[in-house]
């Protein structure tokens, strides 16, 4: 099927930490960088649970000083692989129904039936000989 580039719907998003949007002009020059890595927040992935329930995963901005500390400790550090900077926002159709939700400590893989999500669990303090996964269910409080 060939895409039509037609917008089917829009949703207003209220990110908890998306400071770059507070600027009147957004350009590559106005975004925070460290060498060739952008430190600015960005929308990352969309997960679809059913016809109406969606989740937007976004990555929060990391301050330059904090990033430099992490790079000094681990030269292979990358913001995208750090679950502390990932957040989820839930939508019912085009209506946002949650504020930022902290992601379970791991790498989100994909949405499952029953409003659940598969997460590759990461233990930053211990290198394991196997890969652990967890299934987390989204429930309304």
How many other C-beta atoms lie within 10 A of the C-beta of residue 13?
A: 13
Strands (E), the chain: 33-34, 37-38, 42-48, 53-59, 86-92, 95-96, 101-102, 106-112, 116-121, 132-137
Given a cut of 60, whether residue 28 has pLDDT beyond it is: no
Start-to-end Cα distance in the chain: 40
Local confidence band at 78 (pLDDT 50, 70, 90 cut-offs): confident
Judge whether 137 and 119 are in contact, CB under 8 Å: no
pLDDT at 117: 87
Residue-level length of the chain: 141
pTM of the model: 0.75
- Top pLDDT among 28 and 123 is at 123
pLDDT at 109: 87
Question: How far apart (Å, rounded) are the C-alpha atoms in residues 139 and 45?
Answer: 20
pLDDT at 3: 65
pLDDT at 72: 93
pLDDT at 20: 60
Mapped onto helix, strand or coil, the DSSP state of residue 106 is: strand
Judge whether 55 and 46 are in contact, CB under 8 Å: yes
Cα-Cα-Cα-Cα dihedral sign, residues 85, 33, 17, 137: negative
What are the CA-CA distances from residue 31 to residues 5, 12, 34, 36, 81 (Å)? 28, 22, 10, 12, 20
pLDDT at 73: 92
Nearest to 102 by CA among 67, 59, 69, 139: 59
């Amino acid at each position: 099927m060939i895409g039509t580039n037609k917008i089917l719907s829009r949703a207003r998003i209220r990110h908890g930490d998306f400071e770059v949007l507070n600027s009147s002009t957004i350009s590559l020059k106005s975004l925070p960088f460290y060498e060739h890595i952008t430190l600015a927040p960005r929308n990352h992935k969309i997960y679809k649970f059913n016809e109406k329930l969606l989740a937007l995963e976004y990555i929060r901005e990391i301050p330059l000083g904090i990033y430099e500390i992490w790079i000094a400790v681990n030269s292979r550090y990358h913001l995208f692989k750090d679950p502390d900077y990932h957040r989820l926002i839930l939508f019912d159709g085009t209506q946002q129904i949650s504020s930022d939700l902290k992601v379970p400590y791991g790498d989100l893989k994909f949405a499952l039936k029953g409003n659940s999500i598969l997460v590759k669990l990461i233990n930053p303090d211990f290198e394991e000989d196997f890969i652990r996964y967890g299934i987390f269910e989204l429930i309304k409080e």
